[in-house]
Structure 1
């Protein structure tokens, strides 16, 4: 049977390779270090006062409220450290004026939702586990920030962030956001700026109350009147590829009904123009997703739009590649592209990472043969894995008009 102790931390305390269970409120005003392979639990509230300095490289169990007004982090270069919020007495407050820097964090509280009321700022540098319990920061002012290499898992309707989530860097990321009991993440990727960041949240409400659906471009037929996402570039200069999904329980049936001559696109409220604008998009019915490169930021949602004019008859896209050297479908073939030499081609993976780009695509010495060659991509020069990709073709028509086409590309 493990020993039960009561500790009130009022000065320097370093914990090394022991398991300690703390009853009542735990107050730290000095320095507290939890070493790797060490477990420390506070059954009551935890209060890291101003001047308190906590380094967690082990496992820290928090069963009550959590407040950090001091310094709280993990050792530089140490890829360990897990803070486990596992409430025993109901909903937990996560608050404080100090930035709580976690390597890993686990949210697991089956209390009445929302289980976690966030009013302080937390940063995740490793992995966040959304097991049970909604993290609510919609009104408390707190921010969940994911670092450049951070990730998350197990997000569901039972556990997500109801409010602001920020992601730093250009790595692809699925924002773990939701509202009204639904996880409705948005997948986004910055294209070139590892120092930039985007902030996102989701609201299960009609955006018409904020921005009238009557004010829209003519080709927009119907705007989703049940939900919207707000995504802003709050740092850096990067562009973004955005994917939004539809869901039968939150997305209106009018939007999802199939109609000839109409498609589902992503639309954005353009404050400068004072109307909703069509950002375009390609539908993936298997994943119930629409993807496009966006031209601005702010309020986004899905909409039914009139299909664009028929493409030039002389231009045909073959959207399958099997780069195995047998001479059949070895590259991305754009039949007739030689008639439009003023063109650019971009290819993105399903996470919005640019894997190929070219100007003056011509099917001969400038062509995509399944190898990674993008300015913002990794593993340049390597054959890309089998899967579904997204292409954007921009070209100048014979009458001088700028035109574009987009769609899915399959590599096998």
Structure 2
């Protein structure tokens, strides 16, 4: 094996960075010391790159990797000061070259902005490394397959893609997304760039409560054994989309409600459920304790092809789309009016739920579009005349934001649950949908 030592330039400093070449093998760049890329400077390597356990890379400029990448040391960027947002890394094949690019290593690799660009079909990038993104991930082209097998060294999966607080993904499509588990840390809205094979099937969450909250999402297509083990469903659930599901795993301190949105696609969603999606589609969840699929409700947006509902998550949950038996949803002649205009004119001055007083074992929760609870109470409108214990556009009840604070106009989400009794016994009825508030 022969070594070729890189020379130091104004753009890049190398201390201990060499190129190894061996007959019959591809050249490889090995960093055993310190490598610094200055802001506004660009370097590229057409060789494999390896950052050893003793290696340290600080990239405040732009680095392009055209071959395989391995990191066992420190690979990051300046996180403070004027250069904190100047770092970009690009994984790309040269010109029209194809072939899977392997991104591996036992140490966490930190990027600010990251771009993936490869014309290799199906799987373009094989992720066997834990990557953290702090800025943006541009899915320009190529599917990133995340290796979920366990690494015996650090006892977690070989591959993991994590978006830190404030980070986002864009340019996702059927040709470019992540296949496997994607983690989001932070308390802002996030759309997971996930799919399976050549199908991009997004899921999004509203803002969790804590900046350190972490939620992992994964999408699975055509997992027949999974649904074979989960056939039971509540009486209100008519049909389950057994073609696909999303798994959400939470590292949360307690049960927390987030606004969950799932998408439908005629290519993957059961055709029988597509007759009238605007009125039929709901999000359903596998209840691990009851061992059956339960209705989580849903607000359908035809323009974005999404179904949205507030749902609780702490440890994990399986979600998919389903249809429900409309005649069972609101037993007991309960009627919900989803417009609140508290202007004192006697019309819709509060959130009206007709006949709810007949069912005192009830709970009403209201959330804003980011998943923050603004209202919660039990035994809603006990007298049935709106005089007490109702939502009037203010933060009241067992709430998580300022008490008695007037809420801004906009779209909110409500969850109503109540106990209904008849000759067949009692059951809990649940309804979740949108609520429009006009306080101007």
Q: TM-score range by the shorter chain?
A: 0.7 to 0.9
* Distance in 1, Cα, partners of 2:11 & 2:32: 19
* Distance in 2, Cα, partners of 1:50 & 1:182: 37
**Residue in 1 that maps onto 2:215:** 198
* Distance in 2, Cα, partners of 1:402 & 1:60: 57
Alignment partner of 2:339 out of 300, 316, 320: 320
**CA apart distance, 1:118:** 0.5
**CA apart distance, 1:172:** 2.4
Q: Which moved more, 1:340-349 or 1:51-60?
A: 340-349
* Distance in 2, Cα, partners of 1:221 & 1:330: 33
* Distance in 2, Cα, partners of 1:331 & 1:108: 54
* Distance in 2, Cα, partners of 1:206 & 1:213: 11
- Is 1:87 matched with 2:93? yes
Cα RMSD for the two superposed structures: 3.8
**Residue in 2 that maps onto 1:3:** none
CA spacing shift, 1:290–1:64, aligned 2, 3 Å: same
Q: Which moved more, 1:123-132 or 1:334-343?
A: 334-343
Q: Which moved more, 1:209-218 or 1:87-96?
A: 209-218
* Distance in 2, Cα, partners of 1:112 & 1:59: 26
SS state of the match for residue 58, structure 2?
strand
- Is 1:281 matched with 2:284? no
* Distance in 2, Cα, partners of 1:46 & 1:152: 25
* Distance in 2, Cα, partners of 1:59 & 1:16: 10
- Alignment coverage as a number of residue pairs: 395
SS state of the match for residue 29, structure 1?
strand
- Is 1:305 matched with 2:307? no
CA contact (8 A) 1:189 1:240 kept: no
- Is 1:405 matched with 2:431? yes
**CA apart distance, 1:81:** 1.2
- Is 1:166 matched with 2:183? yes
**Residue in 2 that maps onto 1:257:** 275
* Distance in 2, Cα, partners of 1:349 & 1:149: 20
SS state of the match for residue 247, structure 2?
strand
Alignment partner of 1:45 out of 40, 43, 48: 48
CA contact (8 A) 2:309 2:433 kept: no
* Distance in 2, Cα, partners of 1:143 & 1:377: 34
* Distance in 1, Cα, partners of 2:397 & 2:377: 13
- Is 1:32 matched with 2:41? no
- Is 1:292 matched with 2:298? no
For the pair shown, the structure with the greater C-alpha radius of gyration is 2
**CA apart distance, 1:36:** 2.2
TM-score for both structures, normalised by structure 2: 0.76
**Residue in 2 that maps onto 1:390:** 413
Alpha-carbon deviations, 1:58-98, whole Å to 9, x = none? 21111111111101111122233111112224321111111
**Residue in 1 that maps onto 2:165:** 148
Alignment partner of 1:219 out of 236, 240, 253: 236
Alpha-carbon deviations, 1:102-140, whole Å to 9, x = none? 111111212223111101110111111111111111556
CA spacing shift, 1:231–1:252, aligned 2, 3 Å: same
**Residue in 2 that maps onto 1:359:** 377
**CA apart distance, 1:255:** 2.1
* Distance in 2, Cα, partners of 1:157 & 1:202: 13
* Distance in 2, Cα, partners of 1:79 & 1:304: 45
Q: Which moved more, 1:35-44 or 1:202-211?
A: 202-211
CA spacing shift, 1:156–1:375, aligned 2, 3 Å: farther
CA spacing shift, 1:252–1:60, aligned 2, 3 Å: same
Structure 1: give runs of 5+ residues left out of the alignment: 1-5
* Distance in 2, Cα, partners of 1:168 & 1:337: 42
CA spacing shift, 1:381–1:370, aligned 2, 3 Å: closer
- Is 1:75 matched with 2:84? no
**CA apart distance, 1:250:** 0.9
**Residue in 2 that maps onto 1:117:** 126
